[in-house]
Amino acid sequence: METTEKIVEAYVRHVKGWATISNIRCQGQYEIDLLAIDPKSLARYHIETSVSVSHGFAKLTAAYDPALAKVRVQKPKMRRTLGYFSQHKFETPSVVARLKDYGFEPGAYTKIIVSLGWEAEAKAAAEVEQIQLWDFRDLMREIADSIRGKRSYFTDDTLRTIGLFVLASEGRMTRP
C-alpha cells in the first residue's frame, strides 16, 4: 500500500469513523485501493487515490484518450485523468465483480477519487459521473486538526507519524 493510500485510510478511519478494507486484488492485475463503510448509516464508499507531487501530474484532468493510454510516454499522464479512473478503476468488469463480493452493488455506493487538486473540467465531469473528488491536502489538514491538542497515543503508524509532525511543527516538541 502506498503512503498516500495509508493516509487516506487513516483519514476515513480516524476522522470519518468508517470501517475499511484496503488493497483488494481483482482479476487481471486490477486492485481496489480502499473500501469503506460508515457503521452508522451503512453507506458504502469505493475510494481510489492518486497523488503526485510532480507539477505536471499533480492535478486530475478530464482529457482521457484510450489510444494515448497505450503509449509508454503518455501512460502516466493518462492515469491522472477522470476517464482513466472511470474506465480502469471503477468500471472494469473484474473490479465490479469484486465489489459485488463485498456487497457493493452498482449505484448503491459512492465513488471517490483522492487527488492533489483537479482542473475545472475534471470536476464537472466527475459531477456528471457522480464521482466525488477529495483534495488530499484537505484530508491532511483534517487529520492534523483532529490530532492537534490531544494527548492520545496512536498505535496506527500513519496517525502517529502525522501526530508527531503536528507536535514538531507547533514547537511542542522541545530539544533536551
pLDDT digits (tens, 9 = 90+) for 68-109: 666 676 666 667 788 888 888 999 999 999 999 999 999 999
**Whether residue 176 has pLDDT greater than 80:** no
Secondary structure class of 146 (helix, strand, coil): helix
Q: What is the CATH number of the domain that holds 112?
A: 3.40.1350.10
Compute the average pLDDT of residues 22-40.
Answer: 95
Asked if 133 contacts 123 with a C-beta cutoff of 8 angstroms, the reply is yes
Which grid cell is 2? Answer: 502506498
Among 12-16, 93-97, 158-162, which is the least confidently predicted range? 158-162
Our separate counts of H helices and E strands in the chain read 7, 5
Query: Residue 107 carries which DSSP code?
Result: T
- Greater confidence (175 vs 91) lies with 91
| Residue in the block written with cell 464508499 | 45
> Is this prediction's pTM over 0.75?
yes
Spatial separation of the C-alpha atoms in residues 81 and 91, rounded to whole Å? 14
Mean pLDDT, all residues of the chain: 87
Please report whether residue 154 resides in a domain.
no
Please report whether residue 168 resides in a domain.
no
- List phi, psi (to 5°) of 124: -65, -45
- Using a 10 angstrom Cβ sphere, with 0-12 exposed, 13-18 middle and 19 or more buried, the burial of residue 41 is exposed
What is the domain extent for residue 81?
3-136
Q: Which residue type does 39 have?
A: P
Please report whether residue 85 resides in a domain.
yes
Asked if 17 contacts 146 with a C-beta cutoff of 8 angstroms, the reply is no
Stated as kind and residue range, the H or E segment containing 169 is: helix 157-169
- List phi, psi (to 5°) of 88: -105, -25
Report the number of distinct structural domains present in the chain.
Answer: 1
Please report whether residue 48 resides in a domain.
yes
Q: What pLDDT digit, counting tens, does each position of 46-75 carry?
A: 999 988 776 666 788 887 766 666 667 666
